[in-house]
A and B are shown apart, each in its own frame.
Chain A
């Protein structure tokens, strides 16, 4: 095992780096797209149901099918990593739009109305009151989306776009367990670290949640 790792360290690190990029770039894109969409779903009540339904349908498309079909739709090369990034960004948006909308809807109306009555303008209220209070629920959604992306990237190896999944295919082809074990361990580790980072960020940015739970 140690021998395999030391002999193939460069290959493993490359795969790991690709995995991080392929999983996390879509998370960033997803957040940027989902925030305004979720806000819209709350501000225009009639948009909530369609937006939530469409995102539910999008999330139910099997990942492998999406990876294969995307090049045809957006005109990328079959082996382009862009396919994975776009596909995972779609999943992230699908997951987060609902989180963002529900998080914003969960903010106590007496609090938002008090904010307006004290003289907050809409945009300032969104960033100063609504979003900070909605943050814990949104971050819970972000944790699910991030971990789910990290595991989904592995599927991309089947269509040959790198990442830790390439260690799985290699192990299977060579009937050789070591690359598979290394791939699984790194993938789980990455998911655990990312998850913990979000939890830590939540603790740092929302100290009021814990004090509230105590009383």
Chain B
């Protein structure tokens, strides 16, 4: 766990970058620092590995103040990934990855073997090992950056806009793989981004910073979307937040109707194995219409709603893992379900805060 206790940073010019910050980054989770430029999110990140020293307050890692530790030793226990990767141009990929093991005195052979292992882990072909960074694409360099940060298996990772310099397709890919990696590794991660969508996608917790180094809101992505603390967060979270918040509601609870409930004249064409192929409707004449999309129990309300809205018959089709039709639901029914879930949640949190109110 990383704890900020009343941490402030005033730069020599008199600018207050971070103002009296209290924050707790849970162990084994990704905490995103998000906010407009100049809001103190990068300064806060860089105080964790003492690249910047706080003007007042203190930071603790697992209860121990970091100010008392040797800065270089501390940094070797914290992986660091930045925009543009910041690889060493004069070292091969494998030696770049082995940087920290070399620093702490691991044998060359062992460090390089581990580096090659990590290359595979972050999706880099082994034949790149002897290349230099300039020979790699931006996305590949960023993968090397992640592998380099992981090389000494540090419990903490600090990531400063690591994916913002690559194109959107590569970024989405890197984000996906990063989440997969984290589900295996369970590092305590501080992740700076200016992109609220990235924060919501990656963060277990999100700290929204505002100008002047204050925290506007600290909570789970779902809390930010469903219950923004003020106008600043509402604006920052953006216009589609209602629709995006559906990503956090599972589709499995939807009251899906059985296939037998389909209105007369509408049916689903299936293949020999019973897998759904297309919509049939007397309104289409002799033609069938493509399914357009389906959802499964493991999907989210966002997926189900999207399918319902775009369906040619106004119904979202749920299929099982084999692709066979399970049932249907209209978007009006999804909306009713959602309203019921939300009001139940409100009543629940209302009774909870009321009971907290009377506790001593």
Residues in A whose Cβ lies below 8 Å from that of B176:
none
Residues in B whose Cβ lies below 8 Å from that of A113:
51, 82, 86
Evaluate contact between A211 and B82: CB separation under 8 angstroms. no
Whether B190 sits at the interface, judged by CB under 8 Å, is: no
Residue-wise interface mask of A (166-196) relative to B, using a CB-CB cutoff of 8 A (1 in contact, 0 not)? 0000000000000000000000000000000
| Known A-B contacts A118-B76, A118-B80, A119-B100; A208 and B86 likewise in contact (beta carbons under 8 Å) | no
| Known A-B contacts A113-B51, A118-B80; A212 and B87 likewise in contact (beta carbons under 8 Å) | no
Q: B174-197: which have CB < 8 Å to A?
A: none
Most chain A Cβ neighbours within 10 Å, of B51, B82, B89, B134: B89
Q: What is the CA–CA distance of A110 and B104 in the complex, to the nearest angstrom?
A: 22
Q: B67-81: which have CB < 8 Å to A?
A: 72-76, 80
**CB-CB nearest 4 A-B residue pairs:** A212-B134, A114-B86, A119-B76, A119-B75
Residues in A whose Cβ lies below 8 Å from that of B86:
108, 110-111, 113-114
Residues in A whose Cβ lies below 8 Å from that of B248:
none
| Number of residues on chain B facing chain A (CB within 8 A) | 27
Evaluate contact between A117 and B75: CB separation under 8 angstroms. yes
Task: Give, as a whole number of angstroms, the nearest-CB distance from B94 to chain A.
Answer: 13
Residues in A whose Cβ lies below 8 Å from that of B72:
119-121
Evaluate contact between A120 and B103: CB separation under 8 angstroms. yes
One of B82, B90, B100, B103 near A133 (C-beta < 8 A): B90
Whether A206 sits at the interface, judged by CB under 8 Å, is: yes
Task: Give, as a whole number of angstroms, the nearest-CB distance from B52 to chain A.
Answer: 11
Residues in A whose Cβ lies below 8 Å from that of B134:
208, 211-212, 215
Whether A160 sits at the interface, judged by CB under 8 Å, is: no
Q: A101-126: which have CB < 8 Å to B?
A: 108, 110-111, 113-121, 124
Whether B148 sits at the interface, judged by CB under 8 Å, is: yes
Task: Give, as a whole number of angstroms, the nearest-CB distance from A71 to chain B.
Answer: 45
Residues in B whose Cβ lies below 8 Å from that of A111:
86-89
Evaluate contact between B75 and A211: CB separation under 8 angstroms. no
Which partner residue on chain A sits nearest B103 by CB separation?
Answer: A119
Whether A68 sits at the interface, judged by CB under 8 Å, is: no
Residues in A whose Cβ lies below 8 Å from that of B148:
118
| Known A-B contacts A114-B80, A117-B49, A119-B100; A208 and B90 likewise in contact (beta carbons under 8 Å) | yes
Residues in B whose Cβ lies below 8 Å from that of A141:
none
Which partner residue on chain B sits nearest A205 by CB separation?
Answer: B90
Could you jot down 26 A-B contacts, CB within 8 Å? A108-B86, A108-B89, A111-B87, A113-B82, A114-B87, A114-B88, A117-B49, A117-B75, A117-B82, A117-B158, A118-B99, A118-B103, A119-B72, A119-B74, A119-B103, A120-B72, A121-B72, A124-B103, A129-B88, A133-B90, A208-B90, A208-B91, A211-B132, A211-B134, A212-B134, A215-B134
Whether A132 sits at the interface, judged by CB under 8 Å, is: yes
Q: What is the CA–CA distance of A116 and B99 in the complex, to the nearest angstrom?
A: 11
Whether B121 sits at the interface, judged by CB under 8 Å, is: no
Evaluate contact between B51 and A116: CB separation under 8 angstroms. yes
Residue-wise interface mask of A (196-215) relative to B, using a CB-CB cutoff of 8 A (1 in contact, 0 not)? 00000000001110011011
Evaluate contact between A208 and B132: CB separation under 8 angstroms. yes
Evaluate contact between A117 and B80: CB separation under 8 angstroms. yes
Whether B173 sits at the interface, judged by CB under 8 Å, is: no
Residues in B whose Cβ lies below 8 Å from that of A129:
88
Q: What is the CA–CA distance of A121 and B76 in the complex, to the nearest angstrom?
A: 11
